[in-house]
Amino acid sequence: MVNAEDGERDWYTKAGVRRDPRRLLREELGAGRLYFPPALIPYAAHPLVRALPTEAQQALAARHLFQYLGFTTHFETEVVNRATQRIATGRGGVDTPARTRLDAFRIYCDEGYHALYSFDVVRQIADASGVEPVPYDFAPFRERLDAVGVEALPGQPVLAQLLQVVVFETLVTAILGEVPKDERVLTVVRQIVRDHARDEGWHHAFFARFFRELWARQSAAERVRVARCLPGLVRSSLLPDLRPVRAALAAAGLGAAQVEEVVHDSYPRAATERAMREAARHALRLFEETGVLAVPGARDAFLTAGLLAGGAGDDP
Ligand SMILES: [Fe+2]
Ligand SMILES: [Fe+2]
């Protein structure tokens, strides 16, 4: 199924879980280092946020980082590895060669390690800074993602889970590329994001090939349903989860009306849709190349979801 290139990659020496040391927080907290690049915190420059005491603004940035890492911890274990272990154990609903299963086990280890160090760094920074993460419940996000599959692919939860992972692993968000480059950011944060990005480059290639095989095995009727499921999966993977944002803003001392004002102003629809299209461009190219967009109704579904230029997302 997945070709020989994967086997040639020396996972045993190059994967982060095999090669990288435990990343530790250095003595940088009092030295003016940033928790996260301000440009990647949509509400950081909002006047109501800027009017907060410096300490509260710093705690907000720390909690934005904690939120990103907490999301990663949950997503890797509850979504990515839920599907990856099905491929690895040969229960993905398609005939999977041993080579592909071996690679899926390697990815399973990678993702488990990404979850581990994401949680590890949250704890290191929380303990050293005294800023605790706001409690985060991942279940609503996962349920929203699962609901897309239940609706578009009723009775095929495994296929829906495989598609979730194909979509997510072929998305490219700004964070993995931008954080390591920003020398103002805490070294430990830049290190783990860079470590993560390296592994994900390989995962991207694996899941793109996996999707080509999966797609080739679907009947014409299944292809129609899969094609119509994908736009919803892309949207629900990429639209910002605003519940933890509201919780962090409230914890910083903003009142309910101010929280809503900051959220309203900081996540304008056109910019959010643009960022979503940008992050989805590789996934879209994959769907174009494999013929997903040629299936009856597919192009319209992607247009309506704002994932193609000229679609709903182009509204001002
Ligand atoms: Fe990962
Ligand atoms: Fe991954």
Structure letter (DSSP) for residue 34: B
Whether pLDDT at 251 is above 90 = yes
Ligand 1: distance of its center to the CA of 301 in Å?
A: 28
Q: Is 54 exposed, middle or buried (0-12, 13-18, 19+ CB in 10 A)?
A: exposed
From the CA of 107, which ligand is nearest? Answer: 2
Instruction: Specify whether the CB–CB gap between 237 and 172 falls below 8 A.
Output: no
Q: Ligand 1 center to residue 251 CA distance, Å?
A: 29
Q: Tell me the CA–centroid distance for residue 125 and ligand 2, in Å.
A: 24
Report how far residue 265's alpha carbon sits from residue 260's, in angstroms, rounded to the nearest whole number.
8
pLDDT at position 8 is 53
CA of 24 to the centre of ligand 2 (A): 22
**Per-residue pLDDT tens digits for 270-279:** 999 999 999 9
Domains belonging to the chain, first-starting first, are 5-314 (1.10.620.20)
Which pLDDT does position 315 carry in this prediction?
Answer: 44
- Counting ligands in written order, which one lies closest to the CA of residue 207? 2
Over the stretch 125-161, which tens digit does the pLDDT of each residue have?
A: 999 999 999 998 999 999 999 999 999 999 999 999 9
For residue 275, with 0-12 CB atoms within 10 Å meaning exposed, 13-18 middle and 19 or more buried, which class applies? Answer: middle
pLDDT for residue 2: 45
Single-letter residue type at 85: Q
Within 10 A of 256 (CB to CB), how many other CB atoms are there?
A: 10
CA of 111 to the centre of ligand 1 (A): 5
Asked if residue 42 lies in contact with residue 10, where contact means CB atoms within 8 angstroms, the answer is no
CB-CB neighbours of 24 under 10 Å:
11
C-alpha 277 – ligand 1 centre gap (Å): 21
Least distant ligand from the CA of 84: 2
Half-sphere exposure of 178 (CA within 13 A, CB side): 10
185 pairs with which residues across the strands?
A: 34
Residues, CB within 5 angstroms of ligand 2 (ion): 200, 203
Q: Left if phi > 0, otherwise alpha if psi is -120 to 50, otherwise beta: which for 194?
A: alpha
Find out whether 62 and 252 touch, Cβ atoms under 8 Å.
Answer: no
- Give distance in angstroms: CA of 133 to centre of ligand 1: 21
Q: Sorting pLDDT into bands at 50, 70 and 90, what band is 174?
A: confident
Give me 262's structure tokens. Answer: 């900051």
Q: Ligand 2 centre from 115 Cα, in Å?
A: 11
Confidence of residue 310 (pLDDT cuts 50, 70, 90): low
* Between residues 3 and 45, the one the model is more confident about: 45
Ligand 1 center–CA 200 separation, angstroms: 6
Q: Nearest Cα to 276, choosing from 189, 182, 174?
A: 174
Ligand index nearest the alpha carbon of residue 176:
1
CA of 215 to the centre of ligand 1 (A): 23
**CA atoms of 69 and 67, how far apart (whole Å):** 5
Distance 130 CA to ligand 2 centre (A): 31
The length of the chain is 316
Dihedral pair phi/psi, residue 185, rounded to 5°:
-85, 150
Please calculate the CA angle 64-70-72 and round it to the nearest 5 degrees: 105
Tell me the CA–centroid distance for residue 261 and ligand 2, in Å. 35
Q: What is the pLDDT of residue 30?
A: 83
| Mean pLDDT for all residues in the chain | 92
CA 199 – ligand 2 centroid, Å: 7
Distance 202 CA to ligand 1 centre (A): 10
3-class SS letters over 217-241: CCCHHHHHHHHHHHHHHHHHHHCCC
CA of 45 to the centre of ligand 2 (A): 31
Q: Taking 50 as the threshold, does the pLDDT of residue 304 lie above it? A: yes
User: Checking phi first, is residue 26 left (phi over 0); if not, alpha (psi -120 to 50) or beta?
Assistant: beta
Is residue 313's pLDDT more than 60? Answer: no
